[in-house]
A and B are shown apart, each in its own frame.
Chain A
Amino acid sequence: MKNIFMIVVATFLISGSCEKFPESKYTIRVRNNSTFTISVCAGYLPDTLLPVNKPILKEILAGKFVDIYDSEVGDEKFQKLKNERITVFILHNDTVKKYDWTTIKSDYKILKRYEFNDKELTEMGGSVSFP
């Protein structure tokens, strides 16, 4: 009985260091420390402009946070982030509701733009905090 118990414990402890187990997700966390609701989008972009097509915009209430998943930026486990820089755009939620994407893009109606790689994100504490 004691041996079985030890095997089960060892299995759980060893599996904790395994990449596949347990339940794991890869994300970049964006925190909204402002007093209003914001929208956020992210992607690997060639320049500082907003993407042509409307991206997935995630709403973040004041004082809350959201996660941008690796699948949402097409970078499994954020492997590309080690060598490339990802861009995160912060937009006012009212702007997103009021204007269509073409206007937002042409007038560059953003609140802030972050650009970083994996190392820089670690130096930022592992998450993006707005403002």
Chain B
Amino acid sequence: MYTDPSGNIFGLIWLVNKVIKSTDHGVSGVKGTIKEAQGIWNWTFNGSNMSKMDPTINYKQLINSYKIDVGELMTAPWEKPQAMLGNLVSHTRNLSGNVDNVEIRNGVVLVNDNDPSSRRRWGMTLGPYIDSENIEVGDDMYWHELGHTIQSRILGPLYITKVGIPSLMSATFGSDEYHSNSWYEVWANRLGGVPESNEYPRDYRRNNFWYWWWITTLPIYPN
């Protein structure tokens, strides 16, 4: 999959879309868009030449927000409920200044905040959105969360009740060991191809008929 590492192509699509939409607001709308477009152009091609950019626009936030919306294009129709929520959470974090980088890789959107003073790395997946702190592409947690995005595509709206809510419950009320060994977490490790370790087990807690029976039949089963 093409990831547009420089952001140029996605930036161009954004500009075209923006220009078309800005005509709704007459001449002032178009002028505003031209101003933003000049800034985006300078950000992309003359990164160091800040004098040409409008200081009233936060370009990092603007480009991040565009990249977040690219996630909508990667969403399967049946996973829209969680994808919409993921989009909303990602935008809210971005607008509140809690996002440093947004990366589009492997068909997912990593919306990440970097905090060198924290040893904690966390991730939360809703549709194709991985909202996170201190995660980077290629680390164990990234692959684990990628596994959750695949679950979302397989399960569709059932992701919320089969994975989202049980995961929230076991992470909040259970021990780390209990949560890590829950079936949806182990499945995510397997789907994401996380290297096996104590932190990311690949063996299910139980492997008998009744365990899978309850997983399949009960709407919410945090085990």
Q: Which A residues have a C-beta under 8 Å from some C-beta of B?
A: 8-9, 12-13, 15-16, 18, 20-29, 64-65, 67, 69-71, 77-78, 81, 118, 121-122, 125-127
Q: Which residue of A lies closest to B179 (CB)?
A: A23
A13 and B144 contacting across the interface, CB-CB below 8 Å: no
Contacts of B158 in A (CB 8 A): none
Q: Which residues of B contact A (CB under 8 A)?
A: 85, 88-89, 92-93, 114-124, 126, 131, 134, 138-141, 144-145, 167-168, 171-172, 179, 185, 197-199
For B115, the closest partner residue in chain A by CB is A126
Candidates B93, B118, B119, B144; contact of A23 at CB < 8 Å: B144
A16 touches B131 (CB 8 A): yes
Q: Which chain A residues border B89 with CB–CB below 8 Å?
A: 9, 12-13, 16
Contact of B171 among A22, A27, A65, A122 (CB under 8 A): A22
> Using Cβ atoms and an 8 Å threshold, which residues of chain B touch A25?
120-122, 140-141, 199
Of all chain B residues, which has the CB nearest A125? B116
A-B Cβ contacts below 8 A, count: 85
Contact B199 A71 (CB under 8 A): yes
Residue on A with the closest CB to B114?
A: A126
Interchain CB contact under 8 A, A23 and B171: yes
Q: Secondary structure at chain B's binding surface: helix, strand, loop or mixed?
A: mixed
Are A22 and B123 within 8 A (Cβ)? Answer: yes
**A residues within 8 A CB of B88?**
9
A70 to B199, CA, bound (A): 10
CB-based nearest A residue for B180: A23
- Find out whether the CB atom of B124 lies under 8 angstroms from the CB atom of A22: yes
Inter-chain CA distance A81–B115, complex, in Å, is 17
Asked if B138 and A23 sit within 8 Å, CB to CB, the answer is: no
Docked-complex contact A15 and B199, CB < 8 angstroms: no
Contact A71 B119 (CB under 8 A): no
- Assembly CA distance A12 to B119 (angstroms): 22
A71–B119 CA distance with the chains assembled, in angstroms? 13
Is the pair B117, A21 in contact by a Cβ cutoff of 8 Å? no
- A-B contacts, 15 of them at CB < 8 A, read A12-B89, A13-B89, A21-B171, A22-B123, A23-B122, A23-B123, A24-B120, A65-B139, A67-B121, A69-B199, A70-B119, A71-B198, A77-B119, A118-B119, A127-B116
Taking A16-B124, A69-B199 as contacts, is the C-beta distance between A8 and B85 under 8 angstroms? yes
Give the complex CA separation of A65 and B117 in angstroms: 18
Which residues of the partner chain B approach A69 to less than 8 Å between Cβ atoms?
A: 197-199
* B-side contacts of A9, CB under 8 Å: 85, 88-89, 92
Q: Across the interface, which residues of A come within 8 angstroms of B121, CB to CB?
A: 24-27, 67
With A9-B88, A13-B89, A64-B138 known to touch, is A78 a contact of B172 (CB < 8 Å)? no
Query: A15 near B168 (CB under 8 angstroms)?
Result: yes
- A20 and B172 form a contact (CB under 8 A): yes
